[in-house]
Each structure stands twice: as C-alpha cells, then as structure tokens.
Amino acid sequence: MPASERRFVAMTVTRRITGKIRVRLDRAILTVADGPDTGREAKLEEGILTIGTDPGSGFCLTDPTVSRRHAEVARTSDGFLLQDVGSTNGTFINGVRVDRAYLRDGTTITLGKSEIGFRLNEETFVPAASHATRFGEMIGRDKSMREIFSLLERLSGSDVTVLLQGETGTGKELAARGLHSYGPRSSMPFVVFNCAAVPSELMESELFGFEKGAFTGADASRQGAVEEAEGGTLFLDEIGELSLSLQPKLLRLLDRREFKRLGEAGERHSNIRFVAATNRDLEAQVMEGTFRQDLFFRTSAARVKLPPLRERPDDVPALLKHFLDEISRRTGKQFRLAEPALKILCNHAWPGNARELKNILETAGALCGGETIGPEDLPPLSRVVPRDGAGSMRGAEVRALRDAMEMAGGNKRKAARLLGIAPSTLYAKMRKYKI
C-alpha cells in the first residue's frame, strides 16, 4: 500500500441518499514558515506529535534555540492541543507565551527562532469499490461491501481509531481483525476486550490491570488488556456498555496514551492501536447521558457502518458456500444444499445476519442424515422482525410464512407449529398477505 494512502487521521464516514460512502478527513499539518528549517513539514496522524531537536522527535528541528523536547501536539476529543513540555525558551502562540492551548486553523506557533504554521486540512472523497471480494475473513461481492473493503484496506495502514457500527452478526470483530492483520502491527498482539462480558466492578482491573494489594484477593500484580495489547491492537467490543465511571479513564488513555493500574500511583505509557465496535446508537446514548460526548468523538475518528445481510441478499449464496465448505472440511463430509433448501435460505431476511446463517448451517449439518441438506433438515428460522425500512414488518412476516410453508411441504398445521402460532393465526395471516 503506498505511503500516501496510509495518512488517514480523523475521519467521519457517512452514507448519503445515493448509498455512496463518503469520508471526511481532518488532518493537522505543521509547516516551518521561518527559521533554520523553513519548509519542513509534519502531518499529525493519531496520538501525539513531539516537537524538538531530539532525533527521536516526531517533528525534528535543527534550530539550536529549540529544546530537545520542546513541545507536543496531541489530538484530543476537543481538538488539537499544544503543550510546552519544559522548554528553555518557551512556547508562543501568535506572540503570547502559553503552557498549553488548543490550536485553530491558521495559528502561528513560535519555538525559539522558528515560526511554525498550523493548519487543518479537510478532504471529502468517495472510496472506489475494491476489486477484492474478501477482507480478512469477511466475504462480500455486493458493491456496498466492496466499498467498505476499500475503506478498511486504507484504514489498516494507519493508527487512526476506528469505530465499527452494525447489527449483531454483521462481522464487526472480523473487520477489526482484518484492520490489525493488514496493518503494520500485524506481528503484535490482537486483544479483544468485551465491555458487555465483564462485570462493572471488575472492568477497571480487567482493562488496566492491578497492583498487588489493590483489593482483597489481589495477591499479585497483573496486567490488564491494555498492557497485553502493547505494540498491537486493542479491540473494545460493545463499547456502548462501558460504565460511565470508567469512561474518563479510557478517554485519557486515548488522548494521552497514559493509564494507571488499579492501586498504582504512577502513570504508564501505552503504544497500541484502538478499534471499537457497537451495535448501539451511541449518539442516542450521548443524548441520554449514558455515554460521554468527548469519548464518542474520540472513539469515532473513523466510523464504518457494516450493512445488514438483508441489504445485500446477493451475498447470501457466497456465504452459504463458504460456511458449507468450512463445515465440510471440519466434518470430513461434502455437504451441499438441495435446491428447495437453497431457495428458503436465500429468501430469508436474516435478522441475525451472517452469524445466524452460519448457525443454521451448523445445525442443519448435524441434523442431516447424509450430505445433501434439504428443507426438512433446516431448523426453524428466526422470526425476529427488523425495524428498519429495508426489512419491514410486512416483508419479514411474508418471508417467514413462505419459509415455514416450504419447510412444511405445504402442510399448514405443520407450518403453524414451526412458527409457534395457532393454525387460525396462520390462516388469517395467509389471507391477509394473499399467500
């Protein structure tokens, strides 16, 4: 991947009425306007940019009046923060000495005899659909998925924090693993921290670790998920479940890359990439006061929404083949779908998305007496009704009724049993929808 395609920083991904994915890039650019290093430039990607004469600085200058570690610019939830880090000659913004201040587009920073211009660069573009039909373990031939693959391919080369949104079963963890495995941190750990699976009273110690004696039963110090992911990627799954009391500490980790173990006095530094995921409406949670607005902005530097399977029905046959091949390899059988079973599965709304599809095939394979899976081998399909326009109540009910009738071979009483409703209710619904 060309380096120019890796310079992804703060991004907002949205969908327009046309269905196109649009990405807005916010990139901070610092350029020396006057001084020994005139013309030298640095782009702030994610995290913190250190400015000084130390060769290890992110923005290294040769001006002898600039300290080795003079100042740093950090991308925070509130914007770009400039902070003097104990320089000899001070840090100035538009002629006024400051210890710390937020930067605006067009600001002039003076360090020693060097004047540095700060500007924000915004760019909006529509990523072209990838030619690939896979991203890591994700599969998709539909154009909407290939557009997402293109975006994920480019995001993988950056350390920008990504928020993956989508219904349960749409492949958010697979997308996170792909971002890690295609990126420069692929040889380092990929750690999953499921915020919904950890009791609130244990969440801090599980995420940040703890020191010996921090609480009753803490007989030895232990690393948390943050330290386990050092150098690699920390995947914060179900981030909408994170307790309000812990959100400020996560925000500090994202902003400053600093954290404390439970029971520890000093700060630790972290070098990890963050990817978060949720099936919740975080913006609604912000309005309700259950999720901090600053943390929402910080975790959603790049937002990618994964479409539900019902919005890309052409991907169902490919997913069916993929999962059948996977089950066949594991069991030593050569499973195939009979045409009636294939038709039922292709017409289903899949409210549980690809995860539901895989589970259905796993069960059908176990129930099948041979290697050909017929309608009689399929377990009852989910009758959960999606609430969005793409899968309306009417459409979902019609599909469920037709699926049940096919599975029952036209026997209405058997179809009613499969659906868990009375035969009279089935008859009424069939008359209503003229089935």
The residue ranking higher by pLDDT, 415 or 169, is 169
**Which amino acid is located at 154 in the chain?**
R
Per-residue pLDDT at 353 = 92
Does position 23 have pLDDT exceeding 70, yes or no? no
Which residue(s) pair with 74 in the sheet? 48, 81
pLDDT tens column, 62-98: 999 999 999 999 877 667 889 999 999 999 998 899 9
Average pLDDT, the chain: 84
Phi and psi at residue 235, to the nearest 5°: -100, 110
pLDDT tens column, 377-428: 888 876 554 444 334 445 556 767 777 787 777 888 887 777 767 777 778 7
Domain ranges for the chain: 25-123, 134-305, 309-377, 393-433
Per-residue pLDDT at 110 = 96
Percent of the chain with pLDDT over 90: 48
Per-residue pLDDT at 122 = 60
Is 25-123 CATH 1.10.3720.10? no
- Distance in angstroms (rounded) separating the CA atoms of residues 317 and 320: 5
Per-residue pLDDT at 11 = 44
Average pLDDT rounded to a whole number, residues 179-207: 93
| Closest to 183 in 3D by CA, of 159, 164, 151, 199 | 159
Are residues 13 and 150 in contact, defined by beta-carbon separation less than 8 angstroms? no
Does position 228 have pLDDT exceeding 50, yes or no? yes
Calculate ∠ Cα 111-114-115, nearest 5°.
90
Does position 126 have pLDDT exceeding 70, yes or no? no
The residue ranking higher by pLDDT, 300 or 145, is 145
Helix axes 423-432, 412-419, angle to 10 degrees: 100
**Residue 160 banded pLDDT, cuts 50, 70, 90:** confident
pLDDT tens column, 26-73: 678 999 999 999 999 998 866 788 999 999 888 999 999 999 999 999
Does position 152 have pLDDT exceeding 50, yes or no? yes
pTM over 0.75? The answer is no
pLDDT tens column, 96-114: 999 989 898 889 999 999 9
* CATH number, domain 134-305, options 3.30.1540.10, 3.30.420.40, 3.40.50.300, 3.40.50.150: 3.40.50.300
Tell me the CATH architecture of domain 393-433: Orthogonal Bundle (1.10)
Average pLDDT rounded to a whole number, residues 358-384: 85
| Closest to 151 in 3D by CA, of 163, 233, 279, 18 | 163
Are residues 306 and 179 in contact, defined by beta-carbon separation less than 8 angstroms? no
According to CATH, what is the number of the domain 309-377? 1.10.8.60
- The string over 274-283, giving b where at least 16 C-beta atoms fall within 10 Å of a residue's C-beta and e elsewhere, is bbbbbbeebe
Per-residue pLDDT at 25 = 54
